[in-house]
Structure 1
Amino acid sequence: MRKILILFLPAYIVITMSINTIVEAVPKPPEGSRGELYQDLFVTILLPYIEQPINEYYSKIINVTPMVYPYQVDIVSAKRVLEGRSFLFIVTLEVTPVVGPHISVGKDRLTFKIGAPDEIGQSVKLIHFNHLETHELPPDLKHILRKQQSL
């Protein structure tokens, strides 16, 4: 067991460090800027791909479908996978799904691989979903919780 750990630990560290260098923080663009326009356009196009894993996760907790609004999606990082002007990207988003009158139910991080369909089999592919936070519902929305669950 120790030999396996000694062999794989350095590889794990190198891979983790490589992934961390790939991810670059994307600053929030100024309000009304062209950058904000492009971010909003990009998120709007990705919305169906964002909603599916969000709905799958929260369907186990609540009996209504949470909404995901483009202005509640932040681009955490975006990076070209290959050198030069390739059209294969890794994009990480933070999403705050809501129910009712914009009551947040949590925060989630989704990482997508985006590229030409011939490169990844489809143009958008979810490669990682991470539930970051669970937000408690106000008393008037507790009825949407599934039995034995609490937010």
Structure 2
Amino acid sequence: MNKRFMALILVVVMTTGLPLTSHAENSSPSPKRDSTELQYQDMLMIVLLPHIEAAVREHYSKSLKEQLIVYPYYVDVTEVKRVNGFRGFHFILTLEAHPTVGPHITVGKDRLVFEVAPTLPGGMVKLVEFQHLETHEVPPHWQDMVK
């Protein structure tokens, strides 16, 4: 009787056009609207992305044949510290990246700590620490890219 009742409810909802609410949209951690903070973070990713990819590719080159891609929207800024006080231009940035292969297949999760300052020798960005946090199994049809 329960199954018949549920089927009847489903048919009524589908034929009358009553909306079924879903909370799936709220489960996504990605932002749904633009903001000044998001714009600044995206600009920061444009500047840091070559440094992030270099560190990630070096780590994964030992285990993968194919070159990785790090998409800027798969990098999260987890912490920013201003080293020398208010309006100082020396920062320590902690990021978490999810490198991918092929059609957005994530292969892991990594924490990168960068020092960013105009006074650094050799440039404004220096990788301070790289920590591999997780390894994700690639699908069976991508196993040929694993060393």
- How many residue pairs match? The answer is 117
SS of 1:129's partner is: strand
- C-alpha RMSD of matched pairs (Å): 1.3
SS of 2:134's partner is: strand
Aligned to 1:48: 50
Instruction: List alignment gaps of at least 5 residues for structure 2.
Output: 1-29
Residue 120 (1) aligns with residue 115 (2)? no
Residue 77 (1) aligns with residue 79 (2)? yes
Q: CA deviation at 1:30?
A: 6.6
TM-score by length of 2: 0.76
Residue identity over aligned pairs, in percent, reads 47
Query: Partners of 1:64 and 1:56 in 2: how far apart?
Result: 12
Q: CA deviation at 1:91?
A: 0.3
Q: CA deviation at 1:45?
A: 1.1
Q: Look at both structures and tell me which one has the larger radius of gyration over its CA atoms.
A: 2
Aligned to 1:105: 107
Query: Partners of 2:46 and 2:33 in 1: how far apart?
Result: 17
| Aligned partner (choices 30, 33, 50) of residue 31 of structure 1 | 33
TM-score by length of 1: 0.74
The answer to whether the 8 Å contact 1:29/1:35 transfers is: no
Residue 144 (1) aligns with residue 145 (2)? yes
